[in-house]
Chain A
Amino acid sequence: MALLEVRDLKVHFNTDDGVVKAVDGVSYSVDRGQALGIVGESGSGKSVSSLTVMGLTRFFSNAQISGEILLDGKDLLAASDEEMRHLRGSEISMIFQDPLSSLHPFYKIGDQLVEAIRTHRDVSRAQALDRAVEMLGLVGIPEPRRRVDGFPHEFSGGMRQRVMIAMALANDPKLLIADEPTTALDVTVQAQILELIGRLQNELDTAIVIITHDLGVVAEVTDEIAVMYAGRIVERAPTDTIFSAPEHPYTWGLLGSIARLDAPRGDELVPIPGRPPSLINLPTGCSFHPRCPYVREAHRRIDPSLEPVAGDSGHHVACLLNTETRKRLWRLLEAGTAPEEARAQVGLEDDVASPKEASL
């Protein structure tokens, strides 16, 4: 049985402008000791789905949550607020993007760590402090016994993120969720933190979910990747597969639009035209169709669901094109063909014109 299993999770917010379908039917699972990467841009629903696993979306009075979230078989959505509170910070932990604003500016970090520990464990303050010092040492903060009396503003960005990680791991959680853990950090510090997360995962056998928009980050640290778009998972596969044989046009678009150090310099960046859709008025049929270079008439009407790829049960895609066509398209794109050209070569019927550029 998987450690975490999310089934058909939906999180809708009632606002004055309409219902925001932030998460619209998401399913994935994470095994013990495994690292899952959730990749998406702003508005994809990646953060909201993880906040819901933590039970933090319950604090929004206008949220409607449905589906199942099973942690070791127990449904978290059906759990009471008090039960969720006991799990938060002990069985499941989360770290966030900006470590400066995520730590309380008025309390020493030692006190904040001790608080995290004593909420879930019946230990004395001295014992909790020892554990805090131990954790700070584990995450690589020099002179932990002295620095435990420091305030957040006395630490650098990288150090603060380490403190957050220490706090999150203090109670030996089974699952750690990291929401854009390195986005606010400098590149060299990012490298340190990623290395730390990888090392800790090995040592402590914690399952990790990393949420990010950076494909480079997930390539380094994850075993499996789920690509999210407009509140849904559009592709889910082992990490190697996502990069070597992706089968969703959005994934192709992401891979084609990023500048890469390992590609020849002359390669053009191929942006995805248009912009992410409004979560209140999602497009009809396939949510990606207004921006998809391979769109066909039927895609405006039919909403694809996440299905396994023929011959590869670990690889799921939500796309109406058949897998043969997709594989051919990818081979062409990999070789440097432009999307329009690839579409023509594959022979997709021209029943709908390619989407226009940018925002016109």
Chain B
Amino acid sequence: MARVELKNIHVDFPIYGTQHLSLRNTIYRRATGGAIQRDTQNRDRMVVRALSGISMDLVQGDRLGLIGHNGAGKSTLLKAIAGIYEPVSGSIMVQGRVTPLFDMMPGLDVEDTGYENIFTSGMLLGMSREFIERKIPEIEEFSELGEYLSLPVRTYSAGMTTRLGFALVTALDPDVLLMDEGFGAADLRFAERSAERMDDFIGRSRIMILASHSDSMISSICNKAAWLNEGHLVELGPVDEIFEKYHESVHRGPARKVMEEGIAEVVDAEPVSASSLSYNEHSIADINLADRRSRTTGEVIITRLVAKDETGFTRWEYRPGETVNFEIAYKAVTSVPNLALLFRICLPEDQVSGRPLQVISEMREVLSVERMKAGTCGSLKLTLPNLELAPNKFSLYVCLGRSNYSGFFDVVDVNVALPELVVTNDHPSAVGAGVILLDYTIKQNM
């Protein structure tokens, strides 16, 4: 029998800016004590509660799909069940061997041969040498790599590497199988030859938990679904029932309320990398705040920044000619004399060619010439009708500051994991083709 039992687990991700990892800070904090300590506790040592009071009991035959928005805690929950993130409280009991598939080939080194990588990854996934040796013929057959298996993986095409990883992991005998959609199973499952092997592989597992944004994938594989929202388990039950409630709520939007109440519970804990936090479309009030403060005064903070299309749907990918609405919300932490917005669209830094960040377009707007009281909240909508950008990737730089643009209160950009604005058209090769779209006519004389 396999079983997974979660009892009231909590997982916290402490956030810090880069400076908080240094020894000097800790020594300084210890040495000065008192005031700074209180200050830093509020400012730096804050924690995003990624999972909050999750309980569930899964038994043999359960195929659970995790659904929810980005940042709802799906991946964190998987990693907690995998034993990678130890919960701050609560217990996880497991019967059976847990096989986490977050990375198709953990420990992959492209300089090593295919065979060498099979052994390294296989052992890291918990297989014994004898087990892998037994599985070698099967992996050879399915991957169809032949002689290539004796060559370094760097000579493989991307497809060949995927085939190797897929052939390896599906040779496993998992008791409890954990899959994140990043694993690429979604694409593979529907590839003809892989589908059968994937089904067989999942079928061999006793319990499977899958995190995915793909409704069709979850409904086709899973018999249960768990709906997560901001780290809470909203409901767990039969797939169809949960999907129905989930979609209903997305349209009605009651989930919004939870988010606006704030996601971050500030507690004292050990700091952890901000890079593990994904950009949250509902609140960025806390994301990498310390780093933001190191560049700005923090008198006003940007609490929300999101790009929406005409129908109000959040997305960061647009076609030329579409309308983009940026919704920005802010909150004055202390009283400020006036307020202005600076919004820049930039070509991101290109480390390959060494091209620095280049501003393409800058929009300025004075939002208030009068003094704003501490605690004042506001929001604004910046509309770009008929997007005149060529297919490319653009980074955004959004700043609130004084009306004479002499001092900045808060900046949100790529350093705060703000997504890039991607402009595409149907032809994939056209991405990166330019910057702006100019109107033109061509007259031909023959």
* A and B co-occur in one complex: no
